[in-house]
Amino acid sequence: MALIDKDWENVLGTLECESLLNGPSKRLSAILNKAESGEVIDRDEALYLVNIEKDEIPYLLLTASKLRDSGKGKILTYSKNVFVPLTQICRNRCGYCTFKYEPGEGALFMSPDEVVDLAKKGAELGCTELLFVTGDKPELKYPVYKEALQKLGYETTADYLIAMGEAGLKENIFPHTNLGLATSEELLAFKQSNPSMGLMLENISPRLLKKGQAHHGCPDKVPKLRMNTMELAGEHRIPWTSGILVGIGETWEERIDSLLALKKLSDDYGHLQELIIQNFSPKPGIMMEKYPPPSVVDMLKLVAISRLVFGEGMNLQIPPNLNPETYPMFIHAGINDLGGVSPVTIDYVNPEAPWPKLEIMQDMVEDLGFTLRERLPVYPEFIDNEFIEKDVLTRVVNFVDKDGYVPLEEVTNG
Ligand code: SF4
């Protein structure tokens, strides 16, 4: 209990309020009551929450936490993964990227043997997620890449990823692919080995494609095309992870509109299994080196608003390695997932950010009155034959207990 108080004190300290003395305004009360009763808040209400006074923010956080508790109980989840950067060549040039390099600066792609070795190593160390992250469609921009890929027997990066997902599954670890834009046929092929997949929306605003903005010169970052891929995934009943990137030059309206676009996707198709609220972190050498990262207060507000927009059922995550000092505070803003950690590989997208130590994460979660449970890349509520191909499902159910989590054992980092 002591840590709950101490941690809540941290939240109040960060918000610069001493206690909950003044009570919420009438309008805020009405919105919070509406959300607590299970109704969806609308755009105006979400935007009202953006502008509440600092000393009202704790009330927003309390409601978000109540909703999480009501939908998810006192369980926080994480997954144990192996990060596979199949290729770091990419046809885009996002202003915040440190992942991409040019041909000649490193290998064009990982070899099949390297992928299988990583899958084996991960499976041996108890990882259940083979997380494929790649640059987008380098074959359309770089002839040298295309030729090398063809020599290996593949026409596209998607074809290669599909083959590597199948190879990984044979090693008893579940591929979860972040391909980028995908066709209907590609998605169906991925579904034969991937129990779930992902694509961050990042932001719904086409403004960010304009000159000087984060997504200028990025054909794969057109929001409509990203939504289209996710709609196709919905038609194919593929459990899907998405989310938004915060602090890349977007306005608060654009953040809220991005959440609402994903909420509509979720309502229309029912396949959105997880929503990630990912904060941009500046790094030396990138185009956006001088952009300020979003403040903790803004992130707390946004996470809590996300919980109110999506309601009690959504799995809501902030990446702990991008918030190493503050991630416990987000438990008070309604998250129920602490993302992936890896005993094998670094986070290639944020190489400066080490994974949290599992033992420390478990102690912290327990001190806050929660239980930490390991999940597969696919969430328990999507483990059924509507969402997972028969052969993959047979393997999945062998890995989980009756509640859909990896059976409990003592948490270790290796
Ligand atoms: S799409 Fe990904 S890899 Fe490509 S430039 Fe953008 S952030 Fe980097």
Express each pLDDT in 33-51 by its tens digit: 999 999 999 999 999 999 9
Cβ(99) – ligand 1 distance below 6 Å: yes
Q: Please, which residues have CB within 8 angstroms of residue 191's CB and are 6 or more apart in sequence?
A: 236, 238, 389, 392
pLDDT of the residue at 1: 38
Average pLDDT over all residues of the chain: 93
Ligand 1: centre distance to CA 348 (Å): 12
**Residue range 81-102: average pLDDT?**
96
Query: Amino acid identity of 307?
Result: R
pLDDT of the residue at 283: 87
pTM for this entry: 0.94
Cβ(90) – ligand 1 distance below 6 Å: yes
Q: At residue 411, does pLDDT exceed 80?
A: no
Half-sphere exposure (Cβ direction) of 97: Cα atoms closer than 13 Å = 22
Q: How far is CA 241 from CA 196, 266, 347, 400, in A?
A: 8, 11, 17, 20
Handedness of CA 362, 368, 370, 376 (dihedral sign): negative
**CA pair distance 333, 336, nearest whole angstrom:** 10
Q: Please, which residues have CB within 8 angstroms of residue 98's CB and are 6 or more apart in sequence?
A: 283, 285, 286, 349, 350, 351
Ligand 1: centre distance to CA 339 (Å): 20
**CA pair distance 317, 37, nearest whole angstrom:** 23
Q: Please, which residues have CB within 8 angstroms of residue 185's CB and are 6 or more apart in sequence?
A: none
pLDDT band at 325; cut points 50, 70, 90: confident
**Residue range 84-91: average pLDDT?**
97
pLDDT band at 2; cut points 50, 70, 90: very low
Domain range summary for the chain, segments of one domain joined by +: 2-60, 72-82+127-134+175-399
pLDDT of the residue at 23: 79
**Residue range 301-305: average pLDDT?**
98
Q: Which of 93, 100, 226 to mutate to test the pocket of ligand 1 (most atoms within 8 A of CB)?
A: 100
Nearest CA to ligand 1 atom 5: 93
pLDDT of the residue at 369: 92
pLDDT of the residue at 412: 52
Ligand 1: centre distance to CA 91 (Å): 8
- Residues 202 and 226 sit within 8 Å (Cβ to Cβ): yes
**Residue range 277-281: average pLDDT?**
94
Cβ(135) – ligand 1 distance below 6 Å: yes
**Residue range 375-384: average pLDDT?**
98
pLDDT of the residue at 83: 92
Q: Please, which residues have CB within 8 angstroms of residue 180's CB and are 6 or more apart in sequence?
A: 134, 136, 137, 199, 220, 229
Ligand 1: centre distance to CA 292 (Å): 20
pLDDT of the residue at 352: 74
**CA pair distance 63, 60, nearest whole angstrom:** 5
Residue 61 neighbours by CB distance under 10 Å: 24
Cβ(12) – ligand 1 distance below 6 Å: no
- Residues 196 and 239 sit within 8 Å (Cβ to Cβ): yes
pLDDT band at 3; cut points 50, 70, 90: very low
pLDDT band at 358; cut points 50, 70, 90: confident
pLDDT digits (tens, 9 = 90+) for 220-264: 999 999 999 999 999 999 999 999 999 999 999 999 999 999 999
Burial class (CB in 10 A: 0-12, 13-18, 19+), 1: exposed
Q: At residue 409, does pLDDT exceed 80?
A: no
Residue with more model confidence, 99 or 320: 99
Residue 325 neighbours by CB distance under 10 Å: 8
CATH assignment of 72-82+127-134+175-399, among 3.20.20.70, 3.40.250.10, 3.20.20.80, 1.20.120.160: 3.20.20.70
Q: At residue 410, does pLDDT exceed 70?
A: no
Q: At residue 21, does pLDDT exceed 70?
A: no
Ligand 1: centre distance to CA 133 (Å): 10
Question: Percent of the chain at pLDDT above 90?
Answer: 80
**Residue range 280-289: average pLDDT?**
90
pLDDT of the residue at 333: 96
**Residue range 98-109: average pLDDT?**
96
Helices (H) and strands (E) in the chain, counts: 14, 9
